[in-house]
Structure 1
Amino acid sequence: MANGAGAAGGRSAFSRLGLLARFSLLLDKADDRQIDEGLRAGAQLKGATPWILMLAIFVASIGLNTNSTAVIIGAMLISPLMGPIMGIGYGVGIYDFELVRRSFAGLGVATGISLATSALYFSLSPLTGEQSELLARTSPSIWDVQIALFGGLAGIIGSTRKEKSNVIPGVAIATALMPPLCTAGFGLAKGNWAFFFGAFYLFAINSVFIALATTAMTRALNLPRHTYVDKAVQARVRRLLVAVALLTALPSVYLAWRMVGEELFSAKARAFIAREFAFPGTHLLETSVSPKTRELTVTLVGEPVAQTTLQDVRARLSEAGLAGAALRVFQTREPVDVLASQGDDADKATLLARKLLAEREAAITRLKGELAARDAPWLDHAQDMASELAAQWPGIKDVVIGAGTTTETVGALGEAAATAAHGKTKRPATPGEAVLSAPPEEQNAAAEQPPGPDTAFLSATMTRRPSTAERKRMEAWFQARTKAPAVRVQIGVAPPPRKAKRG
């Protein structure tokens, strides 16, 4: 039992040692002399290095000017700026202050070359727009500090390995040393000091925290010191490093806090606009939210929204967490100009135009129905009236009740009435023939005074011609039932059913 327990304990210890060995930074570490030579060589800025730097700056500036991410990444891979920065951190870590001085000088020269080259390019370039790739380098935050710190740690670890990998190129892309310098050059060329200081601060963050990460990893790997320094000097160096880190990072904390506030404002504003500007017949053509000026701009197309309604919407800004924000609303009845739009805007405009047209047609149909129901309320009771007719006049069928105007030609109706009045065409109705139930003189009067759109119509068929008394009673009932200003009753005579032939 004791031997078994001992064996289990040995395996457990071996497993722990194996796990620690897997994460050991000493496992594939290069020779100390090789590490020292590589970092010192990278810190030098002479020979072909300045030319490579200038060419990389031109490439990065073109990428920023044309908003090409791929070109910017290529420039970051070419850039030799990482060498002097890591040289500073390595020199501080081994207390080689001469190396620190030379690395600072090299970084200063590289920075000057970069600013001058990029400013020259942007002053000559015909493209003067502030592209999104430029704007992205003007607002550093605490997240950029973290990127530089973690990237710097990865960079120094990669530089101390026996086999060189793609760590250094990856760090160059992640920490993005070139684009901020080129953006600062753009600010110099255009006299835009907000661009210059914002971008240069991002470059300072990257440089400082890559150097600090290099110093920390140099100490962690216990690389040999260049010279002996006493405890007091070490303490002064530590205090200086902490002070530099704090002075560099604190503004980024404030900028990050402001960025988060702006993002929250934008999210609340867009949710407010989507919720409050859902009006029938009106559509949002464009929205704009400016967190810096705390302004919400809305462009509406379609039916105008009343000013009282807009005032109510503005009053609800504080309830949505947008107190102090300004709401500007632009409204237009003009149709969407699809042909003047381009690309995605054209697709958006086309869809919006179609939607507006469909909603307008639906609104017209609805209003027509409401107008008909208002001018002809008896149509709502047409089914009941048909049932009442069948109860009062058995045998009546094919009942149709409507509203509108007559479509008979006045001249034709008057001529037929005159012919009947002179007795030229007096005959009983033949089966299957539809006849007007009114006498000729009334038909003539009706022809001379055609009904208006507020006339109620009744059409039906009976197996016999109704008498004059029945017709008048039916008209009186229809008049009382519909309460229409005028009524027209037309009764047709239906043919009798055919008798079956005997064999």
Structure 2
Amino acid sequence: MENNKPSQLRRGKLIRMLLYLRHRFDLEEGKEDELETIDYISKNVEFRGANLWILIFAIFVASVGLNVNSTAVIIGAMLISPLMGPIMGIGLAAGINDFDLLKRSFRNLAVAVFISILTSTIYFYITPIHDAQSELLARTEPTVWDVLIALFGGLAGIVAGSRKEKSNAIPGVAIATALMPPLCTAGYGLATGNLLYFIGAFYLFFINSVFISLSTYLIVRFMKYPKKQFLDRKREKRVQTYITIFTLLTIIPSVYLAYGLVKQSLWNQQARQFVRVEMQFPKTQVLNTELTYNRQERTIEVSLIGEPISEEEINILQKKVFELGLKETQLVINQSGSSTNMQVLRNDILKDLYERNEELLRDKDARIALLENELAEDAKIRNLSGEVAREAKINHPNLIKFSLGRSIFTDLEKKKQDTLLAAYASFKSKPGSSEIKKLHDWLKVRTKADTVALILD
């Protein structure tokens, strides 16, 4: 009996720990009535009236944000966007076998997508700024991280939507999953005739939507939401079949596409690791690396500068590419061994230098312009000083020394610096106050300055 006592204590502690964790992670606590949650999500599915206008205005705001490359504006647009409603409605409908809700959600999502792309296309067609900024380019090609964000963001969204007290999680999900920017980018692709941008951005939106719907479906089934009841058993079975077919037709291609994104991400990671580790030479440096991954080809193109490496070394590197698991990958090395490659390298160097230093050059141009303006002002004052001195001598015969120049003064109370026109005057005998005022007023008129500091000796 004494030997069994420690094991019983350990078992008791384990049970208490499991009960504690179950209580901590219990989704039933604070849960809204299932029918209330279904009604709440169903109401947010519709896109008409104010909801539709809010969507249009949000699309305009997001398009402007992408156009001027403002992250804060894009986030604000995503906060007011109502796009999450029909996407969660699709997942809920699939989870509770409500074919009418499924059709309504799908129809409203189609309307929202059409209106969004049309709105953004109109904006990008009329805007004078047609350059693709970094925020816009980031939405032209999905990654595996977008899939994970949509999945876990959708889980957070439906859990928050099922609570009695609604939190700020749903707006947060709208920001994290970034549903609006891809639709705006798709509109940009149509407005500029760039179909690759349109396809890539719409693909990103599709992936996000499917995985948000999938996560909603999983939580609805996990929390055992009541399925829609039918009086006609044949109709119920037919609806379940339709929903199952729809779910499979939506999820299977998305999972396949997500798998492809995972493979591409792993390939990119291995390719960069290969360049970083294997492409190290004592008298040669990697200038530029371009990775190409698609169905037709997988290429690692590296531009080298310095002493050319031999064909034997290139063959060894190609073998290492295969050994690292980068199958069907071609290694292309551009180096300064031929005039063609030299031209390629020269173009790459010039492009890289231009892109890196464009902002710096703009800053330098502004500084040079400022300095030139300052020098011109100083030269103008120097030339004016002699003329003003001679004219002042005529008006004030007692004047023996005179100087005019620009001075920098500091306002200690306001803690700022400014430029002031200062005049220095020396007289044979001390001038009266009326003569000083006369000189000061004349200097302001003669120099066309609002303020002149007159310093007497």
How far 1:155 moved relative to its partner? Answer: 0.7
Amino acid at match of 1:177: L
1:3-402 alignment runs, 5 A limit = 16-228=18-230, 230=233, 232-233=237-238, 234=240, 237-273=243-279, 275-276=280-281, 278-279=282-283, 286-292=287-293, 294=299, 296-298=301-303, 300=305, 305=307, 309=309, 311=311, 314-321=314-321, 324-330=330-336, 345=357
* 1:148 positional shift: 1.9
- CA distance in 2 between counterparts of 1:235 and 1:98 reads 14
Q: Alpha-carbon deviation of 1:178?
A: 0.7
Relative to 1, partners in 2 of residues 1:32 and 1:253: Cα closer, same or farther, differing over 3 Å?
closer
Between 311-320 and 50-59, the greater mean CA deviation after superposition = 311-320
Amino acid at match of 2:202: F
CA distance in 1, matches of 2:214, 2:300: 41
Deviations 1:301-350 (A, max 9, x none): 7xxx46xx565654444244287322223569x9xx99x9679649999x
Specify the code of the residue in structure 2 equivalent to 1:161: R
Corresponding letter in the other structure for 1:252: A
- What residue in structure 2 maps to residue 478 of structure 1? none
Please tell me whether the aligned partners of residues 266 and 291 of structure 1 are also in contact (alpha carbons under 8 angstroms). no
Contact 1:140 1:252 in 2 (8 A): no
Q: Secondary structure at the match of 1:296?
A: strand
Change (3 A) 1:316 1:100: same
Letter in structure 2 aligned against 1:153? L
Confirm or deny: 8 A CA contact 1:44 1:103 kept in the other structure.
Answer: yes
Look up the equivalent residue of 2:288 and give its one-letter code: T
Q: 1:14-71 CA deviation, whole Å, 9 max, x = no partner?
A: 6543432221111110123431331122111122211211121122222222333332
Distance (Å, rounded) in 1 between the aligned partners of 2:68 and 2:177: 21
Give yes or no for contact 1:141–1:253 (8 Å, CA) kept in 2: no
Measure, in 2, the Cα distance between the counterparts of 1:295 and 1:12.
53
Tell me the equivalent position of 1:433: none
Rounded to whole Å, the distance in 2 between the matches of 1:119 and 1:108 is: 16
Deviation of the 1:135 alpha carbon: 2.9
What's the CA shift for 1:145?
3.0
Q: How does 1:468-487 map onto structure 2 within 5 Å?
A: none
Q: Contact 1:270–1:289 (CA<8 Å) still a contact in 2?
A: no
Q: Which amino acid aligns with 1:134?
A: L
Q: Structure 1 CA distance, aligned partners of 2:317 and 2:19? A: 62
Is the 1:76–1:177 contact (alpha carbons within 8 Å) kept by the matching residues of 2?
yes
The answer as to whether partners of 1:84 and 1:104 remain within 8 angstroms in 2 is: yes
In structure 2, C-alpha distance between the alignment counterparts of 1:272 and 1:261, rounded to whole Å: 16
* Cα distance between partner residues in 2 of 1:39 and 1:200: 24
How many residues are treated as equivalent by the alignment?
334
Contact 2:99 2:243 in 1 (8 A): no
Aligned equivalents of 2:18, 2:332: Cα separation in 1: 62
Letter in 1 for 2:181: P
| Cα pair 2:94 2:247 within 8 Å, conserved | no
The unaligned stretches of length 5 or more in structure 1 are 350-503
| Whole-angstrom distance in 1 between the partners of 2:16 and 2:261 | 49
CA offsets per residue over residues 218-251 of structure 1, 9 Å max, x none?
2222223332385744355335423321122212
The answer for the alignment partner of 1:491 in structure 2 is none
Is the alpha carbon distance of 1:60 and 1:252 closer, same or farther for their aligned partners in structure 2, counting shifts above 3 Å? same
Separation (CA, whole Å) in 1 of partners of 2:100 and 2:113? 20
232-241 vs 174-183, which deviates more?
232-241
Q: Which amino acid aligns with 1:31?
A: D
Amino acid at match of 1:76: M
RMSD: 3.7
Letter in structure 2 aligned against 1:54: I
Give aligned-pair identity as a percent: 41
Q: CA deviation at 1:11?
A: 8.0
Structure 1: distance between partners of 2:18 and 2:314: 65
* Alpha-carbon distance in structure 2 between the residues aligned to 1:297 and 1:17: 57
Cα 1:117–1:300 shift into 2, 3 Å: same
Q: TM-score, normalised by structure 1?
A: 0.58
TM-score norm. by structure 2 comes to 0.63
Give the AA of the match of 1:199.
A
Distance 1:133 1:272, change over 3 A: farther
Tell me the residue number matched to 1:429: none
AA matched with 1:222: K
Distance 1:23 1:191, change over 3 A: same
